[in-house]
């Protein structure tokens, strides 16, 4: 991670084929295309790789979450349970359709705590949205059981975990809907892009229409298409899809590189008694996009993070103080800083997150360091990095 590190001839070939047609839009212009339909090809390849019936490409991971929620009929006043540790896109997508984000504690998986989820359910709850942050998954079996008990949708945000699996199923395919991001820094990239996957034919149809202004895509005359319901423009371009089509063909190779590099780093840190590792639920396998480990307390985590940076070890993150990924810095959500007036249901129902007790999340996040696993490292570079990280951590505890 990220796939752009290994751009090559496959990506160039796919993009050039689009440029030679001059058709950059995924819909229409049939006669000019010369048989090139990159978005359709990528949707087919993605559905096959993720072992689902349907895939719908969109313009970003944020768009994917928004379209997925809308496709399932989620709207104003509906509550969506999400974790305190994620990317801001999670609550942005919920707010975009007038629904209410309900933040819930994470546990040692760094994802939704099932017990906290059950406590947060109200009569307005419609969706549980686990976010498979940094390459690993939530306790999906427990969450699916909760959703079944309360008749809720399980929407997997797998934007950071493509290629991971749970009980042999690709992440994103375990719930009712799954979402991916293909932005510039993801394991496979379109430059910008995202996707919704599902086995539900109605959700697929809704996502197809909703992401293109409500067009029903019936017939070959775009101007004659009807609009069964309101929609918006969340389309992906043929150029972006072309890059993704090359990259998905390389996904298994990328995952193998990530696992190899991850394993070298983890083995080096496993020799240090003060280091423990994120829990991966039984039956799950990470995508190995990040190595996530815990230190004994917040002070030691901060000290180690600073020492790693000073020692020249880049791409290690301390999310506890991060503006984008942890609830503590989401003042724009807490204070509802919006350019315009939001739906009344949001003002009425949004919890006061300035007063909410998320100490259970703080317990884990305050101790966590995440190290990005790069695809472009040479083996000697990984070995040297592993030794340097181990040396730095041992020095901290001298």
- Helix (H) or strand (E) holding 294, with range, is strand 290-294
What lies within 8 Å, CB to CB, of 238 at 6+ separation is: 18, 23, 24, 25, 26, 36, 38, 39
pLDDT at 397: 76
Paired strand residues for 326: 85
Of 49, 327, 337, the C-alpha closest to 182 is 49
The class that CATH gives domain 3-250 is alpha beta
Catalytic residue, chosen from 186, 204, 328, 374, is 186
pLDDT at 116: 98
pLDDT at 356: 96
pLDDT at 257 over 80: yes
pLDDT at 395: 92
Annotated active-site residue 34? The verdict is no
Paired strand residues for 112: 106
Coil, strand or helix: which one is 177? strand
Evaluate whether 389 touches 272 at the Cβ level (below 8 Å). Answer: no
pLDDT tens, residue by residue, 169-223? 999 999 999 999 999 999 999 999 999 999 999 999 999 999 999 999 999 999 9
Evaluate whether 176 touches 153 at the Cβ level (below 8 Å). Answer: yes
Evaluate whether 294 touches 278 at the Cβ level (below 8 Å). Answer: yes
pLDDT at 79: 98
The mean pLDDT of 33-59, rounded to a whole number, is: 98
pLDDT tens, residue by residue, 142-175? 999 999 999 999 999 999 999 999 999 999 999 9
pLDDT at 291 over 80: yes
Structure tokens at 180: 């991916």
The mean pLDDT of 246-274, rounded to a whole number, is: 98
From the number of C-beta atoms within 10 Å of its C-beta (0-12, 13-18, 19+), residue 364 rates as buried
Domain ranges of the chain: 3-250, 252-396
pLDDT at 104: 98
Coil, strand or helix: which one is 191? strand
Evaluate whether 377 touches 261 at the Cβ level (below 8 Å). Answer: yes
Question: Which band of pLDDT confidence, cut at 50, 70 and 90, is reported for residue 9?
Answer: very high
What lies within 8 Å, CB to CB, of 337 at 6+ separation is: 331
Coil, strand or helix: which one is 193? coil
Evaluate whether 57 touches 48 at the Cβ level (below 8 Å). Answer: no
pLDDT at 398 over 80: no
Rounded distance between C-alpha atoms, residue 206 and residue 152, angstroms: 19
State the average pLDDT for the chain.
97
pLDDT tens, residue by residue, 74-128? 999 999 999 999 999 999 999 999 999 999 999 999 999 999 999 999 999 999 9
Cα dihedral sign, 312-315-320-322: positive
| The domain made up of 252-396 is a member of CATH 3.40.50.720 | no
Question: Which band of pLDDT confidence, cut at 50, 70 and 90, is reported for residue 259?
Answer: very high
Q: What percent of the chain has pLDDT over 70?
A: 100
């Amino acid at each position: 991670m990220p796939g752009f590190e290994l751009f090559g001839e496959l990506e160039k070939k796919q993009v050039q084929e689009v440029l030679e047609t001059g058709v950059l839009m995924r819909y229409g212009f049939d006669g000019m295309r010369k048989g090139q339909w990159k978005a359709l090809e990528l949707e087919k390849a993605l559905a096959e790789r993720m072992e689902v019936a349907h895939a719908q490409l969109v313009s970003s991971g944020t768009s994917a979450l928004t379209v997925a929620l809308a496709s399932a009929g989620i709207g104003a006043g509906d509550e969506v349970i999400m974790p305190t540790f994620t990317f801001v896109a999670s609550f942005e997508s919920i707010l975009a359709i007038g629904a209410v984000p309900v933040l819930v504690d994470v546990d040692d998986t760094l994802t939704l705590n099932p017990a906290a989820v059950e406590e947060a359910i109200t009569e307005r709850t419609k969706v549980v949205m686990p976010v498979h942050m940094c390459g690993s998954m939530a306790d999906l079996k427990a969450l699916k059981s909760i959703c079944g008990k309360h008749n809720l949708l399980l929407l997997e945000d797998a934007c950071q975990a493509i290629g991971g699996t749970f009980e042999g199923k690709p992440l994103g395919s375990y719930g009712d809907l799954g979402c991916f991001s293909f932005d510039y820094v993801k394991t496979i990239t379109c430059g910008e892009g995202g996707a919704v996957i599902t086995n539900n034919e109605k959700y697929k149809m809704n996502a197809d229409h909703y992401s293109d202004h409500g067009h029903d895509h019936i017939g070959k005359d775009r101007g004659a298409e009807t609009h069964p319901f309101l929609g918006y423009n969340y389309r992906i371009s043929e150029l972006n899809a072309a890059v993704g089509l090359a990259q998905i063909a390389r996904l298994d190779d990328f995952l193998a590189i990530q696992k190899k590099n991850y394993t070298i780093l983890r083995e080096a840190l496993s020799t240090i008694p003060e280091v423990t590792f994120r829990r991966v639920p039984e039956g799950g396998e990470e995508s190995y996009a990040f190595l996530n480990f815990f230190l004994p307390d917040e002070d030691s985590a901060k000290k180690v993070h600073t020492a790693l940076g000073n020692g020249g070890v880049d791409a290690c993150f301390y999310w506890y103080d991060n503006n984008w990924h942890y609830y503590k810095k989401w003042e724009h959500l807490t204070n509802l800083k919006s350019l315009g007036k939001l739906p009344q249901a949001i003002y009425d129902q949004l919890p006061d997150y300035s007063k909410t007790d998320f100490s259970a999340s703080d317990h884990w996040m305050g101790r966590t360091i995440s190290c990005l696993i790069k695809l472009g490292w040479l083996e000697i570079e990984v070995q040297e990095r592993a030794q340097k990280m181990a040396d730095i951590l041992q020095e901290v505890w001298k």
